[in-house]
């Protein structure tokens, strides 16, 4: 601190950084802008490498993929052109001419390999032409557009019939466009929503704009860094959404904590520099602790050992660290440079409300039951949360599938028409078999027996012959067994179980040394759900342990750490219960625009847990720091609880409103996994910032009393600093 505020103790790092930034504002601001620009530039130059099926393969899927790679199979990507009547029965003669037109146009393209003969559907109401995309399968999307143009030209030439192109590449292209539009929508809406909330919180345009600008710059920088990281760990389709969601939440919150504390200190009569340094010592320190807590929680996703979770964890960690760095470096510089201009221009009426002093009567009234009858209040509120959590016991996990995708996308409507007419074009079980070098003939006979058993099973689609492809050395056999129902159906699960546990072991498994594996969408979905069920307990255990260590070290109070863990577990369980109530039932379908699949997306519980656990630390560290600060000033625990919560109520409410607003936007997006994520996070934060922080936390701390602050001998400081001005010392180190 400056002048009489100087102490004999060395100021904490956040104060030293803030002091330098405040004394050299243009250097700090320029350095931040250069950092953000470099991150964006590097990201644009290297591009983002995205995950594909090969990256995510594990278990039997990985075994199958290794067979394919080792045997050197050339598996070109393929597309299908579906020809149907717009209404009524199909004119077979007209459809045949259209099919020949399709074959002629496609055969003339250099991007096309083989083109099949037109295949009639079993009911005779559709024709299908299969088209191979020439070249490497992994870059097939780069050669897709000429095929789409050819299909569009056929449709224009034959408007009486419906001509549609459906395939893996065209589906991915359409879905990527839809997801990109969703992301743009979320970004477009989240900014004005956040700005409005900040205007209400501060009552001044500049003060409201600072957190939004910092959050946006942190998100932009993290996007660039994420593109760089994707060269090592490919990014999933949800990584960008995760960066935006987490970045806007923590970026705004951290700035909000800092700016509100600086404003509060100026209101006490401190100079701008002293106010910035005091904010750095209190809110700045809490931001660093909170940031590390969020990073630790997000790192829990690494335990799942899944490329999708790993990419989301990396993106989240990058944006959190970027937001923390910005909050303790460029934010003090901006506040020092702006001075009292930070409160300009003022919004009429809103300014008077936000700047109004005095006792927060509403929060005093809310806290009264928790402080007067803490045990009773804790019991009642705890039971209410447990009641919300009970439906989570019936949670069913579904892996993302075609059934989850919005039918508002035209290509999904085409996909439904194609799979209805040709079930074999939908989900398939991809079977791989590797024969021992000395038993190729026996293995071939076993594969033949397997195909005969599949043909005789009603659970498979049979309008096409099962083709068996062999490697050049004759040892590896690949075949696709088409399913007669959707990939996520119970019938598909049953046929997968039959293949893995009955048909393959009894045929190929009878050949000593033969190796087999089943891949495909159904297999991937089932294996993914099993992986999530196995990973979640380990993720929870590791996140709880690391969070306990961080909170214990920060507050030197194990009971505070245990309390924070218990409260976060309670809010997470309640959020799970709400998710089950909303999405495993049908009553909210019209409200949120989705079709219930009877389950929760398999990756969501794990992701929701780590995100909620991390973000909850924002409030917990900030609120408990203020309570500790009040207690260290000489108040008893009950008075300190009241002072700490009422003094932080405004900023916590504003921070929660920002998170709830941003998360709620994701509930309006088109895919059901984004809807579930938005509802789950918004519900969790709403419960956490209201019922947990305003009622359960003070009641629990009231029950514990002075035991909250018990410190084991090993965590006690070895020496006491030289006497200094009591008030300043307490404010500089609010968390002990």
Chain segment 564-607, per-residue pLDDT in tens = 889 988 988 999 999 999 999 888 888 888 878 888 988 888 88
pLDDT computed for residue 239 by the predictor: 84
- Residue 379 above 50 pLDDT? yes
| More confident: 651 or 730 | 651
Q: Is the pLDDT of residue 77 over 50?
A: yes
| CA 288/CA 255 separation, integer angstroms | 12
Q: Beta-strand (E) ranges in 598-639?
A: 600-601
Instruction: State pLDDT tens for residues 231-280.
Output: 888 888 778 878 988 888 888 888 888 888 888 888 788 887 888 888 88
Distance CA 204, CA 184 (A): 27
Q: Which residue has the higher pLDDT, 402 or 496?
A: 496
Q: What is the pLDDT of residue 48?
A: 84
CB-CB contact of 189 with 678 (8 Å) = no
pLDDT of residue 360: 66
Euclidean distance between the first and final Cα of the chain, in Å?
18
List, for residues 4-48, the tens digit of each pLDDT value.
Answer: 443 345 677 888 998 899 889 999 999 999 999 999 999 999 988
Residue 650, Cβ neighbours under 10 Å: how many?
16
| pLDDT tens per residue, range 479-488 | 988 887 777 7
pLDDT band per the 50, 70, 90 thresholds, residue 721: very low
The larger pLDDT score, comparing residue 267 to residue 333, is at 333
pLDDT value at residue 3: 42
Residues 675, 582 contacting (CB under 8 angstroms): no
Helix, coil or strand: residue 636 = coil
Determine the Cα angle at 345 with ends 339 and 351, to 5°: 100
Under the banding of pLDDT at 50, 70 and 90, the label for residue 348 is confident
Number of H helices, E strands in the chain: 28, 11
State the average pLDDT over residues 294-308. Answer: 86
Could you report the per-residue pLDDT of 95-117, keeping only the tens digit for each?
999 999 999 999 999 999 899 99
Above 90 in pLDDT, residue 223? yes
In whole angstroms, what is the distance from residue 436 CA to residue 6 CA? 79
Rounded to 10 degrees, the C-alpha dihedral 663/664/665/666 comes to 60
Range from 224-233, 285-294, 444-453 carrying the lowest mean pLDDT? 285-294
List 120's β-bridge partners, or say none. Answer: 127
Asked whether the beta carbons of 599 and 397 are under 8 A apart, the reply is yes
C-beta of residue 318 within 8 angstroms of C-beta of residue 310: no
Residues above pLDDT 90, as percent of the chain = 32
The two most distant CA atoms of the chain are separated, in Å, by 99
pLDDT of residue 47: 87
pTM as predicted = 0.78
What is residue 55's predicted lDDT score, i.e. its pLDDT? 59
Average pLDDT, the chain: 85
Long-range contacts of 187-194 (CB under 8 A, 24+ apart): 187/244, 189/665, 190/244, 190/248, 190/661, 190/662, 190/665, 191/216, 193/661, 193/662, 193/665, 194/248, 194/252, 194/658, 194/661, 194/662
Q: What is the pLDDT averaged over residues 709-719? A: 76
Convert 158-175 to b/e letters by CB count within 10 Å (16 or more is b).
beebbbbbbbbbbbbbbb
pLDDT-derived band at 532, boundaries 50, 70, 90:
confident
* For residues 285-303, average pLDDT: 87
Residue 614 corresponds to which tokens in the numbers above? 């991390």
Assign 401 a pLDDT band (cuts: 50, 70, 90): low
pLDDT band at residue 403, thresholds of 50, 70 and 90?
Answer: low
pLDDT band at 724 (very low <50, low <70, confident <90, very high): very low
613 and 547 in contact (C-beta within 8 Å)? yes
What is the DSSP pairing of strand 476-482 with strand 428-434? antiparallel
């Amino acid at each position: 601190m400056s002048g009489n505020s100087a102490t004999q103790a060395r100021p904490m790092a956040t104060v030293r950084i803030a002091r330098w930034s405040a004394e050299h504002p243009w250097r700090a601001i320029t350095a931040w802008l250069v950092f953000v620009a470099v991150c964006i530039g590097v990201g644009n130059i290297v591009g983002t490498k995205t995950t594909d099926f090969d990256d995510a393969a594990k278990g039997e899927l990985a075994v199958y993929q290794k067979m394919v790679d080792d045997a050197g199979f050339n598996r070109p990507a393929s597309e299908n052109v579906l020809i149907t009547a717009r209404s009524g029965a199909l004119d077979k003669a007209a459809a045949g001419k259209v099919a020949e037109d399709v074959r002629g146009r496609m055969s003339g393209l250099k991007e096309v390999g083989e083109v099949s003969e037109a295949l009639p559907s079993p009911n005779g109401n559709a024709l299908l032409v299969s088209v191979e995309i020439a070249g490497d399968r992994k870059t097939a999307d780069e050669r897709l557009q000429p095929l789409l143009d050819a299909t569009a030209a056929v449709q224009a030439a034959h408007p009486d019939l419906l001509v549609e192109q459906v395939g893996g590449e065209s589906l991915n292209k359409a879905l990527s466009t839809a997801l990109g539009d969703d992301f743009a929508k979320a970004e477009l809406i989240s900014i004005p929503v956040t700005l409005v909330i900040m205007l209400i919180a501060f009552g001044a345009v500049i003060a409201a704009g600072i957190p939004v600008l910092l959050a946006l710059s942190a998100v932009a920088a993290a996007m660039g860094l994420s593109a760089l990281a994707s060269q090592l760990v490919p990014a999933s389709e949800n990584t960008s959404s995760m960066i935006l969601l987490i970045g806007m939440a923590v970026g705004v919150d951290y700035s909000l904590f800092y700016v509100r504390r600086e404003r509060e200190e100026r209101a006490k009569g401190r100079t701008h520099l002293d106010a910035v340094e005091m904010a750095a010592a209190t809110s700045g320190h809490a931001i660093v602790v909170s940031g590390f807590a969020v990073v630790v929680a997000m790192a829990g996703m690494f335990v799942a050992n899944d490329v999708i979770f790993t990419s989301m964890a990396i993106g989240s960690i990058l944006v959190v660290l970027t937001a923390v760095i910005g909050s303790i470096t460029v934010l003090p510089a901006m506040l020092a440079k702006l001075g009292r201009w930070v409160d300009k221009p003022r919004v009429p009426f809103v300014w008077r409300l936000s700047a109004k002093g005095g006792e927060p009567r509403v929060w005093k009234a809310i806290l009264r039951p928790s402080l007067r009858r803490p045990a009773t209040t804790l019991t009642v509120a705890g039971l209410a949360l447990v009641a919300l959590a009970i439906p989570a016991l019936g949670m069913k996990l579904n892996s993302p599938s075609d059934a989850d995708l919005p039918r508002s996308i035209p290509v999904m409507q085409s996909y439904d028409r194609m799979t209805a007419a040709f079930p074999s074009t939908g989900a398939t079980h991809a079977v791989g078999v590797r024969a021992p070098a000395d038993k190729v003939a026996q293995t071939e006979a076993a594969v033949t027996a397997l195909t005969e058993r599949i043909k005789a099973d009603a659970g498979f689609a049979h309008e096409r012959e099962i083709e068996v492809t062999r490697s050049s050395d004759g040892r590896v056999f690949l075949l696709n067994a088409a399913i007669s129902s959707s990939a996520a159906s119970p019938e598909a699960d049953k046929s997968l179980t039959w293949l893995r546990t009955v048909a393959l072991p009894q045929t190929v498994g009878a050949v000593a040394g033969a190796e087999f594996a089943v891949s495909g969408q159904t297999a991937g979905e089932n294996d993914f759900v099993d992986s999530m069920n196995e990973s979640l307990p380990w993720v929870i255990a590791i996140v709880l342990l690391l969070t306990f260590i961080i909170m214990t070290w920060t507050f030197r109070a194990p009971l505070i750490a245990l309390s924070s863990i218990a409260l976060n577990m309670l809010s997470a369980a309640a959020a799970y219960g709400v998710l089950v109530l909303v999405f495993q039932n049908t009553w909210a379908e019209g409200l949120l625009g989705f079709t219930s699949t009877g389950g929760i997306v398999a990756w969501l519980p794990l992701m929701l847990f780590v995100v909620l656990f991390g973000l909850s630390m924002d409030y917990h560290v900030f609120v408990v720091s203020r309570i500790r600060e009040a207690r260290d000033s000489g108040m008893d625990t009950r008075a300190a609880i009241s002072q700490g919560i009422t003094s932080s109520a405004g900023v916590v409410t504003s921070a929660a409103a920002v998170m709830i607003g941003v998360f709620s936007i994701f509930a309006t997006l088109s895919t059901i996994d984004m809807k579930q994520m938005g509802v789950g996070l918004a519900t969790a934060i709403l419960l956490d910032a209201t019922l947990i922080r305003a009622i359960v936390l003070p009641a629990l701390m009231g029950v514990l009393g002075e035991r909250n602050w018990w410190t084991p001998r090993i965590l006690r400081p070895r020496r006491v600093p030289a006497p200094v001005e009591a008030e300043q010392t307490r404010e500089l180190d609010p968390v002990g």
